[in-house]
Structure 1
Amino acid sequence: MKMKYLATTAIVGVAGLAGGQAVAEELSVLSGNNIESIAISEALTDAYTAMHPDVTFSIEIRPGGTEGDNIIKTRLATGEMPDIFLYNAGSLLQTLRPSRTLVPLNDLPNIGDVLESFTSTVSDSDGNIYGIPSQPAVVGGFFYNVPTYEELGLEVPKTWDAFMANNAEIAEKTDKAPLIQTYRDTWTSQIMVLADYYNVHTQNPDFAEKYTANEAKFADTPAAKKGFERLQEAYEAGYFNEDFGAATYNDGLRMVATGEGVHYPMLTSAISAIQQNHPDQLNDVGFFAQPGDDAEHNGVTVWMPTAFYIPKDSDHIDTAKDFLNFVATPEACDIITDAVGASGPYLVKGCTLPDDVPRAVSDMLPYFEEDGRTAPALEFLSPVKGPGLEQITVEVGTGIRDADSAAELYDRDVEKQAKQLRLPNW
């Protein structure tokens, strides 16, 4: 079913001329349903409209998670994809067969200003680049409620044992949920497994290479299986909010911002949503990396942001490309910051952050300032990511499945994806 957006936003592109008159164009864009994606799409299209008032743009939204992935694939396959759409970089992009379905952007004048660390995640094996980043880089870990930490005299944990000790103290001394989970939005259930990859990489630096070559599995790699084990441990400890099965992503952000809950595993892209929905509590939310076993190796898993893409079936390719070229500018970065706040380092040369970044951003930036404290998420090191992970992690996080069987099931899920991609040795 086609989802309608709440309003129609004017966007502008490069209008053609006929008989000396500008020819009006109407383009369409498909956005994710989170508040930051919508706000960014609106702000960028409004700015572009101000420069090129002869083109309009209608915006649709789609669900997140597996349902949203299926909508993207179906609309590309049927030729019904809007002229521009927002979607993931990395392994999920590869499932779209970009060389067959998307427009290369190598000839954009500003493509050289997009950092190679990003373009490498939206390219094919022939070096064709397909996406422009829609936001700054994102890291995964835990948001935490700063006033609660201050009230209890807690320190930011650098090991998993210290983190669980903090949860125990919160449970004992307050009526707050130590650890927020929001399984109504099933995609959020994956974060504790995915954000643990820095710790996997630290212990097994060649895991991604072996995993892609079908020489390593989650089930037979202790460091990789720990993400599932930590989720199981947290569930069995009883630290989740009572409504974790019905709570949504927006509920989770509200809880950590207001102090109803204390820890929320999430990507830092959500800082923008906190700024939009809970501006008065923005600096009550801090951030720390998902802890591992070794305090001396404490770092974050880094995600590349979603990107704007153009389907090959678009009737407005030139205008859409001009819009994406505009997105790859410092001016566009400033527009994004004005719209949703600063949530991390930008991936376009010349883009800067304001001095007064939110508390969670200032907590996150030091990880980028020291060598060895960041690692890309597995989906940016390997094209293999099983589509069923969010269902598996919901089962672990509700006690239906243990970590051992979850890792084994995910390995089977991954195998299906690898064979679809026709990877060697699968």
Structure 2
Amino acid sequence: MTYTRKTILGLTAGLMSMTGLTGIALAQQTTLSLFSPNDQAAVAYTEAMIEAFEAANPDINVEIEVGPGGTERDNMVKSRLATGTMNDVFVYNAGSLFQAINPVQTTVDLTNEPYMADILNSFKQTVTANDGTLRGVPYGQAMGGGVLYNKKIYEELGLSVPMTWDEFMANSAKIQEAGYAPVIQTFGDTWTSQLFILADYFNVQAKNPQFAEMYTRGEAKYANTPAAMAGFQKQADVFNAGYLNEDFGAATLNDGLRMLADGEGAHYPMLTFAVGTIAQDYPELVGDVGFFALPGDDASLNGTTVWMPTALYISANTPNMEAAKKLVEFVASKEGGCDPWVEINAITGPFLIQGCELPADVNPAVADLQTYFTANGRTAPALEFLSPVKGPSLENITVEVGSGIRTPEDAAALYDEDVKKQAQQLGLPGW
């Protein structure tokens, strides 16, 4: 749907026509069209951001089109870009899906814009086109992938946040002895079973910095890369140790968040967006939930995997380039890219714009995640932001590993075959 925030424009034009100034007013007014995401938080942010932008730029009117989500959005974006009918500015994925829209031809180069110096490098690499140019700015907040944990249980048992997998398993043993479920799993929502693999990517990159490039070229596999195999092994470890909640096969995401918040379980591998649900459903308990990175085998290489926000791009075919650049510059600033999120109280991760501070009262899990961004080398984008290759059967494979049905070795080999089919469908060389 399309609408404009300046509902009084017609009235203003009518009044001005009585003074003979209509032509001047219309000549000065530029209207931009913004293709927005459709999730509730993004729409609320978009409305607040545009209101502030229009107040600072009274000569620019922004119409918001709320597009669909998922595959339908992907198809719509690609179709509009291919036919030259895309909105002036549009919000779309960073990472591998960004590469799929042929950004050199379809978006505007922002490399030399002064505000790009304020965008964190961890985000820039996900909006860098194949010619080395920068094409987008963050539209939202990052999410961490790791372990949500119950801070009260940790305090009760005198545990420290684990920096290695051995420490994690040792903590889990003590948690089990105390009568709590050490690790929550929720295979009733099968996608949640993937976090041991997906959130472990920081550890893969720390040991194999070229893994994403080699993986995309078909040169590196899960089955022949020990660091990549480790995610499957960790999932098997917690099952074999008997550390899971009894109903892991049927429990859902909401069940897992309730168990974590209530203190029935201590660890839940998950994305930090889920803390928003805890804050909504269990506001009195959200302060008991913290976050730490899924640990690897070397404490000196400890860091977390990050899911980057979407990005705002300028369509190469916009007839309103100057106004579009002003809007993108505003979104890349504290006033436009951060303050509106804080005002609508939808903080689920850190901002990727320098100068954007999290509120003092942000929930502990998000504050914990922020600490990884304040030190160099402690974050890495999830593999899906670095490579277009992800097999569709991963969540089914990880359910099997997490249920003791399939060994890590078998799972890695099976996933390599699943990935091969998808890479061949994409026409990637080397497969």
| TM-score scaled by length of structure 2 | 0.77
User: 1:143 aligned to 2:148?
Assistant: yes
Q: Could you tell me how far 1:242 is from its partner in structure 2?
A: 1.8
Q: 2:34 and 2:357 mapped to 1: Cα distance?
A: 29
- Counterpart for residue 72 of structure 1: 73
Q: Which residue of 1 aligns with 2:49?
A: 44
Report SS of the residue matched to 1:286: strand
Q: Which of the numbers 252, 266, 280 marks the counterpart of 1:262?
A: 266
- Tell me the residue number matched to 1:118: 123
Residue among 296, 308, 311 paired with 1:292: 296
Secondary structure, aligned partner of 1:178: strand
Are residues 1:31 and 2:57 paired? no
Picking from 197, 200, 206, the partner of 2:204 is 200
Aligned CA RMSD, in angstroms, stands at 3.9
Amino acid at match of 2:397: I
Pair 243,205 (structure 1): closer, same or farther in 2 beyond 3 Å: closer
2:137 corresponding residue in structure 1: 132
TM-aligned CA deviation for residue 300 of structure 1: 2.0
1:413 pairs with 2:414: no
Letter in 2 for 1:329: S
Q: Distance in 2 between matches of 1:234 and 1:9?
A: 51
**Letter aligned with residue 383 of structure 2:** L
TM-score normalised to structure 1 length = 0.78
CA contact under 8 A between 2:34 and 2:62: conserved in structure 1? no
User: Does the CA contact (< 8 Å) of 1:181 and 1:264 recur in 2?
Assistant: yes
Q: What is the CA distance between 1:146 and its match in structure 2?
A: 1.0
Indicate if the aligned counterparts of 2:30 and 2:323 stay in contact, CA closer than 8 A.
no
Alignment match of 1:327 (pick from 319, 325, 331): 331
Q: CA deviation at 1:230?
A: 1.6
Encode CA deviations 1:289-327: one digit per residue, 9 max, x unaligned. Answer: 112223444322233322234566889887665443321
1:192 deviation in Å?
A: 1.6
> What is the distance in 2 between the residues matched to 1:81 and 1:403?
45
Which letter maps to 1:31? P
> What's the CA shift for 1:277?
4.8
Retained in 2: the 8 A contact 1:144–1:262?
Answer: yes
Equivalent position amino acid for 1:367 in 2: Y
1:59 lines up with 2:59 in the alignment:
no
Alignment match, 1:65:
none
Q: What secondary structure is seen at the aligned counterpart in 2 of 1:340?
A: coil
Alignment of 1:364-379 (within 5 A): 364-379=369-384
Task: Flag structure 1 segments of 5+ consecutive residues without an equivalent.
Answer: 63-67
Match of 1:154 in 2: 159
SS of the residue corresponding to residue 208 of structure 1 reads helix
Give the conservation status (yes or no) of the 8 Å contact 2:91–2:311: yes
1:19 partner SS: helix
* 1:230 aligns to 2:231 (yes or no): no
Sort the Cα spacing of 1:317 and 1:247 in 2 relative to 1 into closer, same or farther, 3 A: farther
Distance 1:258 1:347, change over 3 A: same
SS in structure 1 at match of 2:144: strand
What letter is aligned with 2:345?
Answer: V
8 Å Cα contact 1:180/1:265 also seen in 2? yes
Equivalent residue number for residue 398 of structure 2: 393
Alignment of 1:159-198 (within 5 A): 159-174=164-179, 177-183=181-187, 185-198=189-202
**% of aligned pairs identical?**
49
Partners of 1:182 and 1:84 in 2: CA distance: 38
Q: 1:59 to 1:297 in 2, by over 3 A?
A: same
- How far has the Cα of 1:335 moved from its partner? 1.9
Q: Which moved more, 1:138-147 or 1:277-286?
A: 277-286
Does the C-alpha gap of structure 1 residues 115 and 218 become closer, same or farther in structure 2, counting only changes over 3 Å?
A: same
Find the residue that maps to 2:412 and give its secondary structure.
helix
- Stretch deviating more after TM superposition (215-224 or 340-349): 340-349
- CA positional deviation for 1:348: 2.0
User: Deviation of residue 89 (structure 1)?
Assistant: 1.8
1:326-373 CA distance string (max 9 Å, x none): 211111212223323555543223323344443223433443444554
Closer/same/farther in 2, CA of residues 112 and 388 from structure 1, 3 Å limit: farther
Matched, 1:216 2:217: no
Contact 2:350 2:366 (8 Å CA) reproduced = no
Partner of 1:301: 305
Distance of 1:168 and 1:140 partners within structure 2? 23
Partner letter of residue 164 of structure 2?
T
CA distance in 2, matches of 1:245, 1:309: 41
Range 329-338 or range 319-328, more displaced: 319-328
Contact map agreement 2:183 2:243 (CA 8 A) in 1: no
Higher mean displacement: 75-84 or 251-260: 75-84
- The 8 Å contact of residues 75 and 81 in structure 1, kept in 2 or not, is answered as no
The residue matched to 1:280 in structure 2 has which SS? coil
Worse overlay, 99-108 or 202-211 = 99-108
The structural deviation recorded for 1:393 is: 2.9
Query: Does the 8 A contact of 1:98 with 1:124 survive in 2?
Result: yes
Aligned partner of residue 141 in structure 1, secondary structure: strand
Partner of residue 408, structure 2: 403
Where structure 2 has 5 or more consecutive residues not aligned to the other structure, the ranges are 14-21
Deviations for 1:213-233, whole angstroms, at most 9, x for unmatched residues?
432211111221111122233
Shift of 1:58: 4.7
State the SS of the aligned residue for 1:291. coil
Paired residues in the alignment total 410
Q: Structure 2 CA distance, aligned partners of 1:362 and 1:326?
A: 25
Corresponding residue for residue 338 of structure 1: 343
Compute the displacement of 1:88 (Å).
Answer: 3.1
